[in-house]
Amino acid sequence: MEYKLIRQKRKTIAISINEKGQIIVKAPIKTPINKIEAFIQEKQHWIEKHLKKVEGVKSFEGNFDFKNNAYILGKEYKLQEIDICFPKAEDRGFQNKLHNLYLSLAEQKLPKMVEEISSGLKYNSIKLCNSKRIWGSFDRNYNMKLNWRLIMLPEELVNYVIIHELCHGLELNHSQAFWKEVSVHCQNYKTIKKQLELYSFLLQFNI
CATH number (domain holding residue 178):
3.30.2010.10
Q: Would you give the end-to-end CA distance of the chain in angstroms?
A: 35
Q: What pLDDT score was predicted for residue 96?
A: 65
Give, as one character, the DSSP assignment of residue 151: G
Q: How many domains does the chain fold into?
A: 2
- Residues 143, 84, single domain; the answer is yes
Answer whether 170's CB lies under 8 Å from 98's CB.
no
Residue 144: what are its φ and ψ, rounded to 5°?
-110, 140
Answer whether 61's CB lies under 8 Å from 203's CB.
no
Answer whether 141's CB lies under 8 Å from 193's CB.
no
Indicate the pairing of strand 75-78 with strand 14-17.
unpaired
Q: What pLDDT score was predicted for residue 92?
A: 45
- Residues 34, 108, single domain; the answer is no
Nearest 5°: the CA angle 201, 207, 87 is 115
Please name which of 173, 179, 174 lies closest in space to residue 192, comparing C-alpha atoms: 179
Q: What pLDDT score was predicted for residue 86?
A: 60
Report helix, strand and coil shares of the chain as percent, to nearest 5.
50, 15, 35
Average pLDDT value over all residues in the chain: 89
- Residues 138, 191, single domain; the answer is yes
- Residues 73, 172, single domain; the answer is yes
Q: Specify the pTM.
A: 0.78
Q: What pLDDT score was predicted for residue 67?
A: 81
**Of 61, 80, 110, the domain-final residue:** 61
Q: What is the pLDDT of residues 148-162, one digit of tens each?
A: 999 999 999 999 999
- Residues 37, 106, single domain; the answer is no
- Residues 48, 84, single domain; the answer is no
CA gap 70, 76 in Å, rounded: 6
Q: What pLDDT score was predicted for residue 89?
A: 47
Which domain does 27 fall in, by range? 4-61
- Residues 52, 89, single domain; the answer is no
Q: What is the pLDDT of residues 120-140, one digit of tens each?
A: 899 999 999 999 999 999 999
pLDDT one digit per residue (tens) for the chain, 207 residues: 889 999 999 999 999 988 888 999 999 999 999 999 999 999 999 999 889 888 888 888 988 988 888 899 999 988 777 665 565 544 444 556 778 888 989 999 999 999 999 988 999 999 999 999 999 999 999 999 999 999 999 999 999 999 999 999 999 999 999 999 999 999 999 999 999 999 999 998 877
Q: What pLDDT score was predicted for residue 106?
A: 93
- Residues 57, 73, single domain; the answer is no
**Of 20, 43, 61, the domain-final residue:** 61
- Residues 42, 82, single domain; the answer is no
